[in-house]
């Protein structure tokens, strides 16, 4: 009898374990009650793109540049390249204090594009209205060139135009376009 009691007890335990397992799986299969659906579909937030760029800003009281890194969030429908964003931001920069935009006030970009490994930028006539010493003029040209080249992969040179005419002289600073990256004489000695 003891032998039969142990078998019955084992069968009962097996049935209980099976019942528990079946009961748990039934609960999982039952879908939760969902609230009534409305006809409104959620509007998708516009995708945003974070870009990083470098501006070559002028010291307010010295003819030197300082490379400064910035980030900007663009919406997915903003199709500007980092180079275009950087030049727009260089013109619009309104820093107070130590660093300022080297671009003369009122200057607009007429066009900006790459042709091979050369970047061509065309500014409005206001660019030539600015009067400054030739060492400051060199800093303005260097800021444009370095900002564009730093923010455009594979570019090696920059040609600057004003109202469609190739610029070779600016406020007493003469140069031969296209221009490469400026490295000497534009950063302050440490």
Over the stretch 46-65, which tens digit does the pLDDT of each residue have?
688 899 999 999 999 899 99
**55-to-89, 117, 172 alpha-carbon distances in Å:** 8, 20, 24
Q: Tokens standing for 122?
A: 């065309």
Task: Give per-residue pLDDT as tens, 9-32.
Answer: 667 676 666 665 565 554 445 555
The residue that leads in pLDDT, 107 or 79, is 107
Task: Give per-residue pLDDT as tens, 101-124.
Answer: 999 999 999 999 999 999 999 999
Q: Give the total residue count for the chain.
A: 190
Query: Residue 20: inside a domain, yes or no?
Result: no
Query: Residue 34: inside a domain, yes or no?
Result: no
Query: Residue 3: inside a domain, yes or no?
Result: no
Q: SS3 sequence, the chain?
A: CHHHHHHHHHHHHHHHHHHHHHHHHHHHHCCCCCCCCCCCCCCCCCCEEEEEEEEEEEECCCCCEEEEEEEEEEECCCCCCHHHHHHHHHHHCCCCCCEECCCCCCCCEEEEEEECCEEEEEECHHHHHCCCCHHHHHHHHHHHHHHHHHCCCCCCEEEEEECCEECCEECCEECCCCECCCCCCCCCCC
Looking at the structure of the chain, the number of domains it has is 1
Mean pLDDT of 144-170: 97
Query: Residue 89: inside a domain, yes or no?
Result: yes
Query: Residue 25: inside a domain, yes or no?
Result: no
Domain that holds residue 94: 48-174
Mean pLDDT of 67-88: 93
Q: Tokens standing for 24?
A: 């748990």
Query: Residue 64: inside a domain, yes or no?
Result: yes
- 54 Cα distance to chain centroid: 10
Instruction: Say what the pLDDT of residue 76 is.
Output: 84
Mean pLDDT of all residues belonging to the chain = 85
**Checking DSSP bridges between strand 157-162 and strand 118-123, what pairing results, if any?**
parallel
Query: Residue 160: inside a domain, yes or no?
Result: yes
Query: Residue 19: inside a domain, yes or no?
Result: no
pLDDT tops 60 at residue 45: no
Mean pLDDT of 129-157: 95
């Amino acid at each position: 009898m003891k032998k039969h009691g142990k078998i019955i007890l084992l069968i009962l335990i097996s049935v209980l374990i099976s019942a528990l397992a079946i009961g748990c799986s039934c609960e999982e299969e039952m879908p939760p009650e969902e609230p009534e659906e409305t006809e409104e579909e959620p509007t998708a937030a516009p995708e945003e793109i974070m870009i990083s760029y470098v501006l070559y800003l002028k010291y307010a009281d010295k003819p030197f540049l300082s490379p400064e890194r910035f980030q900007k969030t663009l919406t997915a429908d903003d199709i500007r390249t980092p180079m275009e964003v950087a030049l727009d931001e260089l013109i619009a920069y309104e820093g107070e204090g130590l660093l300022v935009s080297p671009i003369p006030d009122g200057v607009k970009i007429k066009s900006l594009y790459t042709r091979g490994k050369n970047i061509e930028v065309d500014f409005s006539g206001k660019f030539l209205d600015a009067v400054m010493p030739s060492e400051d003029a060199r800093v303005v040209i260097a800021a444009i060139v370095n900002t564009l080249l730093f923010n455009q992969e594979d570019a090696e040179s920059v040609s600057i135009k004003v109202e469609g005419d190739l610029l070779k002289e600016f406020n007493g600073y003469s140069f031969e376009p296209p221009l490469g990256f400026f490295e000497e004489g534009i950063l302050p000695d440490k």
